[in-house]
């Protein structure tokens, strides 16, 4: 080791023998590894408390119960959908923040659903019970989907819980997750956007950070604060560098178990296509927002989501385009293939799985863009989503439950109806901008002579068609939606509402492409992904964790600094650093409330921190916990080096970024004077 490398190593804490890789299902924890790496062996009572205090939000984030009165903590950017929907032209709670000084002032989120995991059961044998050796991949997938429909419906009918079957290891394992569902959720506290998202897009996915990305919600049952099955206390002492940390949350999607050919598709097709679409939408929405006033308010919320996705996907794409990373992925795959080839029995059973998946990628490359465009990317508007849902209800509900599209089965209808009948306002002007941008993207990608483009747009501009559709539709009326959905949505088949006419016009082609994708791509990937999973089990045992699936996982790590460009990046930032960073120029502007509180705030209070916990999108809002199961932080981001971890893990520089519990409490007490909330968090 060179003198320079020795000097650099001395800047960091002592190294640990085990990497903290893995997003582990609660029923598949690596107890031996935890004992060896961290001397940590949780008992069942500890795990049950964490599991039942952890919450999934249906808009794509995580949270946790933090009091016995149903108080829930999550990120501001996770709660922003609710905050935006309870705002209006006269009450901009995104910009100005919100604090309910009494429970009677808590604001109901229009369509937010929360899920709490109550139990997990392996149902792989039941899902695969009807499979026969002579089945094609498509027949196999259809049989599995039918079995899943039966199992989940029987579960829901017998338990009254939400029952989801989760596909793990690319189809190698199926687990039944039973959730308690909450649908009455109210906003308690949200800071101003400027302090929640301080640093804006330039600082997003970077570190050091200085964000108060926190919000509090409350869950109600029968119009009273709910008593959650479990809750997690704050540890006001916080953490120190090197401390063991736990994250309990719902990571969205990783692709670490995909084959190299599947990752090549991600690199060459899916990610570039999705980024092009996001840029097209973001450019038009940004231009609309330059009009100021209400347009600026509405565009800000949309742009946050677009720009966050753009930065995340750009980082993922850069990782896949990194030859060293991709070669490492191929080498890891080749090692498994050689281990399979060395065993004649394994080679006979699983040896051709990689080639079959590679062949399916050829079809995937041919149809993916058209499939995604007709599935929604080409018609991006809340009005169209409502119309599509209503029309497909009319087509799907008359069918037997097992034969329906998955999103229209009995077990999905309660959540579907909550979204369909949401009273949240829809704003025609920005919907016109988004629909026009997506229709233009449809024309640009498929070409003006594509039959469906000619059917939808003809010779008119995308803006003209979008304006006509949105001016003519009446689907903003919730009562009309309910009328159209009655009696198996029969009226949706014949309604002359222009959005429903459009939904009917493209549905048969959209279904054809979906069926082709499911039969020739998804079915092949599922059958052969399951074969590779069984090969991996045969070679490595059950020590491999599955890819993320937006289901509850545990991730373990340590509070740890890192090196970037030979410079130590400290594990913690402070409130003093926040004020030093506040230049007064956007996006480094603090709201007046924070500026006026400067003298009251303890400047050395830890504000944000980093840890080695293995996270990804969907973990936003997860609690960062001590080994005692107390909250020491709130996950809100990862640094830029963590983005390629979706494909191949490394903890050399990748870090999860959290708001420190000490920073949260200091701001609540001395900036917001939120005494009721502070007392609820700290007096149990």
**Cβ atoms within 10 A of the Cβ of 131, count?**
15
Q: What is the DSSP string of 441-501?
A: HHHHHH-TTSHHHHHHHTTS-HHHHHHHHHHH--TT-HHHHHHHHHHHHGGGGT---HHHH
In the chain, where are the structural domains located?
Answer: 3-113+183-253+550-682, 117-181, 260-539
Pairwise CA distance, residues 401 & 408, whole Å? 8
- Token pair listed for 407: 């999103």
Closest CA to 383 of 418, 437, 420: 420
pLDDT score recorded for residue 18: 52
Pairwise CA distance, residues 240 & 604, whole Å? 14
Pairwise CA distance, residues 14 & 562, whole Å? 12
Q: What b/e string do you get for 412-428 counting C-beta neighbours within 10 Å, with b at 16 or more?
A: bbebbbbbbebebeeee
- Token pair listed for 514: 């979906």
- Does domain 3-113+183-253+550-682 sit in CATH 2.40.10.120? yes
Average pLDDT, consecutive stretches of 10 residues, N- to C-terminus, the chain (684 residues): 34 48 97 95 98 98 99 99 95 98 98 98 98 98 98 98 97 98 99 98 98 99 98 98 99 98 99 99 98 95 95 97 95 98 98 99 99 98 99 98 98 98 98 99 99 98 99 99 98 98 98 99 98 96 92 98 97 99 98 98 99 98 99 98 94 96 99 98 88
- Strand-pairing partners, residue 176, are 121, 165
Specify whether the CB–CB gap between 245 and 625 falls below 8 A.
yes
- Token pair listed for 17: 């023998």
- Token pair listed for 655: 């870090």
Closest CA to 246 of 645, 548, 622, 544: 622
**Size of the chain, expressed as the number of residues it contains:** 684
**154: number of CA atoms within 13 Å, CB side?**
11
Pairwise CA distance, residues 395 & 372, whole Å? 20
Q: H or E segment at 89? A: none
**Cβ atoms within 10 A of the Cβ of 154, count?**
13
**Cβ atoms within 10 A of the Cβ of 5, count?**
9
Pairwise CA distance, residues 43 & 31, whole Å? 10
Instruction: Give every CB contact of residue 369 below 8 A, 6+ residues apart in sequence.
Output: 269, 273, 445, 446
Pairwise CA distance, residues 633 & 607, whole Å? 9
Name the pTM for this structure. 0.95
Angle between helices 137-159 and 410-420 (to 10 degrees): 80
Query: How far is C-alpha 678 from the chain's CA centre?
Result: 29
Pairwise CA distance, residues 636 & 613, whole Å? 12
Pairwise CA distance, residues 499 & 557, whole Å? 49
Pairwise CA distance, residues 165 & 318, whole Å? 33
Pairwise CA distance, residues 336 & 529, whole Å? 13
| 3 state DSSP class of 377 | helix
Q: What are phi and psi of 320, to 5 degrees?
A: -70, -25
Closest CA to 421 of 392, 390, 399, 397: 390
pLDDT score recorded for residue 15: 38
Specify whether the CB–CB gap between 261 and 357 falls below 8 A.
yes
Pairwise CA distance, residues 244 & 248, whole Å? 14
CA-based R_g, the chain, Å: 25
Q: What are phi and psi of 564, to 5 degrees?
A: -140, 120
């Amino acid at each position: 080791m060179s003198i320079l490398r020795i000097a650099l190593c001395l800047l960091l804490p002592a190294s640990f023998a085990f990497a903290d890789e893995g997003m582990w299902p609660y029923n598949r924890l690596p107890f031996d590894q935890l004992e060896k790496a961290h001397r940590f062996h949780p008992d069942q009572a500890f795990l049950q408390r964490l599991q039942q205090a952890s919450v999934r939000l249906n808009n794509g984030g995580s949270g946790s119960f933090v009091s016995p009165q149903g108080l829930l903590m999550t990120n501001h950017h996770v709660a922003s959908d609710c905050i935006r929907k309870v705002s209006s032209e006269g009450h901009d709670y995104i910009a100005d923040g919100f604090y309910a000084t009494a429970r009677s002032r808590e604001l109901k989120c229009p369509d937010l659903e929360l899920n709490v995991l109550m139990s997990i059961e392996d149902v792989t044998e039941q899902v695969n019970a009807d499979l026969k050796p002579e089945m094609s991949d498509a027949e196999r997938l259809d049989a599995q989907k039918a079995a899943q429909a039966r199992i989940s419906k029987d579960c829901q009918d017998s338990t009254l819980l939400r029952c989801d079957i989760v596909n793990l290891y690319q189809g190698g394992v199926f687990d039944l997750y039973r959730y308690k569902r909450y649908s009455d959720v109210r906003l308690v506290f949200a800071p101003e956007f400027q302090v929640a998202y301080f640093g804006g897009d330039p600082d997003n996915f970077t570190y050091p950070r200085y964000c108060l990305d926190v919000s509090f919600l409350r869950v109600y049952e029968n119009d009273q604060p709910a008593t959650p099955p479990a809750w997690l206390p704050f540890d006001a002492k916080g953490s120190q560098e090197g401390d063991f940390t736990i994250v309990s949350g719902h990571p969205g999607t990783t692709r670490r178990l995909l084959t190299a050919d599947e990752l090549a598709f991600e690199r060459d097709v899916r990610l570039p296509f999705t980024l092009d679409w996001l840029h097209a939408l973001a450019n038009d929405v940004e231009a609309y927002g330059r009009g100021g006033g209400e347009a600026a308010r509405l565009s800000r919320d949309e742009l946050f989501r677009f720009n966050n996705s753009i930065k995340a996907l750009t980082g993922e794409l850069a990782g896949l385009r990194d030859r060293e990373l991709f070669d490492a992925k191929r080498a890891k795959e080749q090692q498994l293939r050689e281990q399979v080839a060395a065993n004649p029995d394994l080679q006979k059973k699983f040896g051709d799985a990689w080639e079959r998946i590679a062949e399916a990628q050829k079809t995937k490359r041919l149809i993916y863009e058209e499939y995604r465009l007709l599935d929604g990317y080409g018609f991006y508007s809340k009005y169209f989503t409502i119309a599509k849902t209503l029309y497909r209800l009319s087509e799907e509900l008359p069918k037997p439950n097992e034969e329906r599209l998955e999103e229209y089965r009995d077990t999905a209808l309660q959540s579907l109806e909550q979204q369909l009948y949401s009273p949240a306002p829809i704003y025609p002007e920005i919907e016109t901008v988004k629909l026009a941008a997506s229709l233009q993207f449809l024309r640009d990608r498929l070409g003006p002579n594509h039959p469906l483009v000619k059917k939808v747009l003809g010779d008119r501009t995308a803006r003209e068609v979008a304006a006509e559709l949105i001016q003519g539709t009446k689907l903003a009326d919730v009562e009309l939606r309910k009328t159209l959905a009655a009696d198996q949505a029969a009226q949706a088949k014949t309604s002359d509402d222009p959005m429903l006419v459009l939904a009917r016009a493209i549905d048969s082609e959209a279904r054809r492409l979906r069926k082709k994708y499911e039969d020739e791509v998804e079915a092949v990937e599922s059958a052969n992904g399951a074969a590779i999973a069984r090969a991996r089990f045969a070679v490595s045992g059950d020590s491999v964790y599955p890819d993320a699936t937006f289901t509850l996982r545990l991730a373990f790590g340590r509070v740890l600094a890192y090196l970037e460009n030979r410079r130590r990046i400290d594990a913690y930032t402070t409130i003093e650093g926040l004020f030093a960073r506040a230049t007064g120029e956007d996006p480094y502007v603090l709201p007046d409330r924070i500026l006026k509180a400067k003298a009251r705030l303890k400047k050395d209070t830890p504000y944000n921190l980093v840890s080695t916990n293995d996270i990804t999108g969907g973990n936003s809002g997860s609690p960062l916990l001590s080994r005692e199961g107390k909250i020491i932080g709130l996950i809100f981001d990862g640094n830029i080096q963590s983005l390629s971890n979706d494909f191949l893990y490394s903890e050399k520089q990748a870090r999860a970024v959290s708001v420190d519990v000490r920073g949260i409490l200091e701001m609540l007490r001395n900036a917001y004077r939120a005494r009721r909330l502070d007392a609820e968090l700290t007096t149990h």
